Every structure is written in C-alpha cells, then in structure tokens.
Amino acid sequence: MNSSTTLYNLGELTRLGSTDGPLQRLHPAAKLFTTILFIVVVMSFGRYTLSALLPFLLYPVVLATVGNIPPASILRKVALALPFALCIGIFNPFLDTNPVLYIGTLPISGGILSFCSILFRLFLTVSATLALIGITGFYTLCAFLPRMGVPRIFANQLLFLYRYLFVLLEEASRMERARNLRTFSKKGLGLRVYAQLLGHLLLRTFDRAERIHQAMLCRAYTGSLPLAPLPPFGIRDLLFCLAWGLFFLLARVYDLPQLLGHILSFWI
C-alpha cells in the first residue's frame, strides 16, 4: 500500500462523512443496524447462491449515490480487500467440478458458482461498510457506540486512534521517504534500518503520548472524554430501517431475478 494513497483514501472518506445530505442526517443507529442486517442477510444465503444476491446490490448503490460517495473510491478499496478472499475462494472451482447449471449447453460447475458468489458477496459487504462510514462519519459513529453499551474506554480509544492516525501516518511517510532517498541499490532497506526507524518512531510516539496527556490534564481531563450530542431517533430513521428491512426480507425469501426472468420468458 502506497503511503500517499493511504492518506488520501482515509481523508476522502472522512471528508464525505462531514458533508450534509439526506442520508448523512439520519441517526447513526439506523444506518449501523441496517448495514449489519444487510451483511447478515447477504451471508445467510447458501454457498451456491448468486442470482438471488443480485438485488442486494441496491443497498450499497443507493447509499453511495444518495450519499454522494464517488464509486471509484469504493471500488479501489474493494480491490484492496480482494486478495485474501481470492486466495481462499480460488480453490472452489478446482475442488467442486460437478456441473450444476447449464447456460445453453455450457455447463457451469458448482465451484465456479460458489467462487463467483464469494466474490460478489465480498463486493456487497465491503461496499456497504465503506458507504456506511462515508455517510455516517467516524466521530458520529463513535459518539453513538457508548449509547449502545460499548465500553466507554473503547469508544475513547477509537477516537484517539483516529485523531492521531493522520499525524503518525504523516510522520511515518516522512521517515520512509527520508530512508528511501538515502538508500542506493536497495542497501539499507533491510530489517536493521527498519527496526531502528520503528524504534525511533515508537520513542517519539511515547513522548507524544506524554505531551498529549499533559495537555489534557491542563484542560481538566478527568478520565473520560465528553460525547458529542446526537439527534433523537426519529420517524425518518425508523422508516429507513423498516423500508430496507422489508426489502431485505423480500429479496431473501424470493429469488427476485429468477422471478423476473420467468415473467419475461412467459411474456415472450
């Protein structure tokens, strides 16, 4: 992962979370629970399911378009998430070669079907999660977590980590650039220099933590951070949850594309 692209991508999603829009104004609980429901329903299908999963594309597409998230930023991250699922799923076509489906006379094996299913589900789950964070924003999400019963110390930890992520990523990318400029024909890119770089970064990190702590004490820190206020859970939020819940139920019970195909063939 290139350092500058990492920074850019991270900042991109944050910026999106702070913009205003109909989806951004929804309560974080509505968006979080609907997205979790979405992922659970998508993953609850059998392993050979493909066509019944297609309608679920609607959810990330609507979130991304209404939320004004550029599709390219989501697609880039899906590509980053691909390798592991690819490594594990790639065995399916070789291990399961029974033809289960005929398109015309072309047999499709169960392995290929389940492999495609894994890849499509990866796309669905990853894009839904990224769209969720894009339209919710991390600070709002963290403000909601303790109200849901997540330990407060953990919500604080997430906020802290997120706040200093940018600072330390920038520092590390400066160090990396400095090292790369001083290395010739790969000399100095090995473990020795790397460990010393990390060690120094770690020492600086400890010092930074100490300074932050002092600054916090000066500002009357008592052990926990105040939470940002959240709007009440309104009728719009409820409607959002119910409408999507109903759609997920419908798409889970009926294989909508299959139905559509049959209606078409019936007419023609």
Partner 1 sequence: MHMADALISPVTGGILWAVSAALLTVSSQRMRACFDSRLIPLMGVLGAFIFAAQMINFTIPGTGSSGHLGGGLLLAILLGPYAGFLTITSVLTIQALFFADGGLLALGCNIFNLGFFPCFVVYPFLYKPLAGLSPTRKSLSIACVVGAIASLQLGAFSVVLETVASGITELPFASFALLMQPIHLLIGLVEGLVTAAVVTFIYNARPDLLQLSGKTKTWSIGKLAATFALLALVVGGFFSSFVSSDPDGLEWSIQNLTGKEELPAPDAAPYNTLATLQEKTAIMPDYAFREPAISEEMPAHTTPPAPSTETSDMSTAESTGSLPTLDTATGMAGLTGGVLTLILTLLLGFFLRRRARHE
Of the candidates 27, 75, 56, 67, the one whose C-alpha atom is nearest the C-alpha of residue 124 is 56
101 binds partner 1 (CB under 8 A): yes
Q: How far is the CB of 237 from partner 1 (least distance, A)?
A: 19
Q: How far is the CB of 56 from partner 1 (least distance, A)?
A: 9
Based on CB atoms, which residue is closest to partner 1, 83 or 232? 83
Of the candidates 49, 137, 136, 59, the one whose C-alpha atom is nearest the C-alpha of residue 100 is 49
Indicate which single residue of 216, 242, 243, 246 sits in contact with partner 1 (rule: CB under 8 A).
216
95 binds partner 1 (CB under 8 A): yes
User: Tokens representing 181?
Assistant: 């400029």
Cβ atoms of 90 and 115 closer than 8 Å:
yes
**For helices 71-89 and 110-136, what crossing angle results, to 10°?**
140
Residue 147 identity: R
Pick the stretch among 155-163, 226-234, 239-247 that binds partner 1 (CB under 8 A): 155-163
DSSP H helices in the chain: 3-18, 28-43, 58-66, 71-89, 92-95, 110-136, 138-144, 152-181, 191-218, 235-253, 256-267
Q: How far is the CB of 242 from partner 1 (least distance, A)?
A: 19
Based on CB atoms, which residue is closest to partner 1, 149 or 232? 149
Indicate which single residue of 18, 25, 147, 161 sits in contact with partner 1 (rule: CB under 8 A).
161
Taken in order 33, 74, 158, 11, the sign of the CA dihedral is negative
First to last CA, the chain: 51
Q: Which residues, including other chains, have CB under 8 Å from residue 100's CB and lie 6 or more apart?
A: 48, 108, 109, 110, 113
x/- track of binding to partner 1 for residues 125-154 (CB under 8 A): xx--xx-xx----x--x--------xxxxx
x/- track of binding to partner 1 for residues 168-207 (CB under 8 A): xx-xxx-xx--x------x--xxxxxxxxxxx-xxx-xx-
x/- track of binding to partner 1 for residues 225-244 (CB under 8 A): --------------------
Span 41-80, contacts to partner 1 by CB under 8 A: 41, 43-52, 54-55, 57-58, 61-62, 64-66, 68, 77-78, 80
- Which CA distances in Å does 85 have to 45, 56, 82? 17, 20, 6
Span 15-44, contacts to partner 1 by CB under 8 A: 21, 35-36, 39-41, 43-44
112 binds partner 1 (CB under 8 A): no
Based on CB atoms, which residue is closest to partner 1, 58 or 233? 58
